[in-house]
Amino acid sequence: MKSGRRLLALVKKEWVQILRDPSSIVIAFVIPLVLLFLFGYGLSLDAREIRLGIAAEDGGWEARDLTAAFLGSPYFRPLVSPARQELFQKVVAGDLKGVLVIPAGFSAALRSGRAERETQVLLATVLLATDGTFPNTGSMVENYSLGLLSQWAEGLSGSAGGVEVESRYWYNSELESRYSLLPGIMAMIMSLIGTMLTSLVVAREWERGTMEALLSTPVGAMEILLGKLIPYYLLAIFSTFFSLGVAVGLFGIPFRGSLIMLFCVGSLFMLSALGQGLIISTLAKNQYVASFAALLSAFLPAALLSGFIFEIDAMPPLQRAVAAVLPARYLVSSLQTLFLVGDAWGVLIPDMLTLAAFGVVLLGLTLCSTRKRL
Average pLDDT on 125-135 reads: 80
* Per-residue pLDDT at 175: 65
Sheet strands (E) in 17-151? 50-56, 76-81, 98-102, 127-130
Whether the per-residue pLDDT at 122 is higher than 70: the answer is: no
Average pLDDT on 115-138 reads: 66
Asked if 190 contacts 350 with a C-beta cutoff of 8 angstroms, the reply is no
**Residue 181 exposed, middle or buried by CB count within 10 Å (0-12, 13-18, 19+):** buried
With CA atoms as reference, report the closest residue to 49 among 127, 144, 134, 130.
Answer: 144
Q: What is the mean pLDDT of the chain?
A: 81
Whether the per-residue pLDDT at 162 is higher than 60: the answer is: no
User: Would you tell me how many other CB atoms lie within 10 Å of the CB of residue 309?
Assistant: 16
* Per-residue pLDDT at 152: 84
The DSSP annotation for 119-136 comes to T---PPP-EEEE-TTSHH
Whether the per-residue pLDDT at 341 is higher than 80: the answer is: yes
Asked if 51 contacts 97 with a C-beta cutoff of 8 angstroms, the reply is yes
Which one has a higher pLDDT value, 238 or 161? 238
What percentage of residues in the chain have a pLDDT greater than 90?
13
* Per-residue pLDDT at 165: 45
Whether the per-residue pLDDT at 211 is higher than 50: the answer is: yes
* Whole-Å CA distances, 183 to 39, 48, 245: 11, 22, 12
pLDDT tens readout for residues 297-325:
888 888 888 887 777 877 888 888 888 98
Q: Label residue 161 by pLDDT band (50, 70, 90).
A: very low
pLDDT tens readout for residues 30-82:
888 888 887 777 666 666 778 999 999 888 888 898 899 999 888 889 999 98
pLDDT tens readout for residues 224-269:
778 878 888 888 898 889 999 988 988 888 899 999 999 999 999 9
pTM for the model stands at 0.74
Q: Label residue 164 by pLDDT band (50, 70, 90).
A: very low
Radius of gyration of the chain (CA): 28
Average pLDDT on 122-141 reads: 76
What percentage of residues in the chain have a pLDDT greater than 70?
86
